Structure 1
Amino acid sequence: MTRKGRRAGRPRLVVHAVTEWKQATTEADPRATWITVSPRVGFVVSKAVGNAVVRHRVTRRLRHLAMARLGTLRPGTTLVVRALPPAAAATSAELGQDLDAAFRRLHLAVDDNGGEA
């Protein structure tokens, strides 16, 4: 993902992103057609962030923030959000600001008309 994707670093997290299209064929139409997959997100929270309780708290916060933003992403977008040690002391609002800033830097958001936001 990191070879063909992009990344944006913030003080408390790093977002890696790649947009992929998958090729599929059907029996009715043997010609290859391109389909998109729904946006998806994964999280990496290492032991450097804190003990298990702290890591799970950070993961829960990031999951909630990311799920609220998935609808604004292009189809086929795959994200990996890597939490850095300062994320342990951050509030949900601060993590949300970092996530939004990373999305803007990566030009991930799509407006209602299908164009870039």
Structure 2
Amino acid sequence: MLPAGSRLTRRDEFASVVRRGRRSGRSRLVVHICGGAGDGGPRAGFVVSRAVGNAVVRHRVTRRLRHLVAPRLQQLPSDALLVVRALPPAADASSAELAEDLDAGLRSAMRKLSGSPR
């Protein structure tokens, strides 16, 4: 579970990260990250739409993503805001597959955020 201070909760926060942030897509998820006016460390939020599956499937995907993101938050810059959007193939993915996509997406998005070439 993410601590309350590490969660994005408001719609405008999600919209701002998706609109202003750097994006990196993978087969099962899309990572959006931006440097924000975040106080108190990096924060993360999750978007798992109905396209992923019914409520049971969506909650399972969200729990897996939350579990995967929690230890990776400390590796992000202190003002980072992160949104992880699950795509329909995430419903059938194992935690290891989600972790692989998350790590690759974070690396790519962080590279874009810092402006360094590939």
TM-score bracket, shorter-length normalisation? 0.7 to 0.9
Residue in structure 2 matching 1:100, options 90, 100, 103: 103
More helix per residue: 2
RMSD (CA atoms): 1.4
The alignment of Structure 1 onto Structure 2 pairs a total of residues equal to 95
Asked if 1:3 is matched to 2:19, the reply is: yes
What are the Cα deviations for residues 40-95 of structure 1, in whole angstroms up to 9, with x where unaligned? Answer: 10000001000000000000000000001111110110011000000000000000
Contact 2:33 2:110 in 1 (8 A): no
Q: What are the ranges of 5 or more consecutive residues in structure 2 without an aligned counterpart?
A: 1-15, 112-118
Q: TM-score, normalised by structure 2?
A: 0.76
Contact 1:7 1:16 in 2 (8 A): yes
Contact 1:9 1:102 in 2 (8 A): yes
Contact 1:21 1:37 in 2 (8 A): no
Q: TM-score, normalised by structure 1?
A: 0.76
Q: What are the ranges of 5 or more consecutive residues in structure 1 without an aligned counterpart?
A: 23-35, 109-117
Structure 1 stretches of 4+ with a deviation exceeding 3 A read none
Question: Relative to structure 1, is the Cα distance of residues 51 and 10 closer, same or farther in structure 2, using a 3 angstrom cutoff?
Answer: same
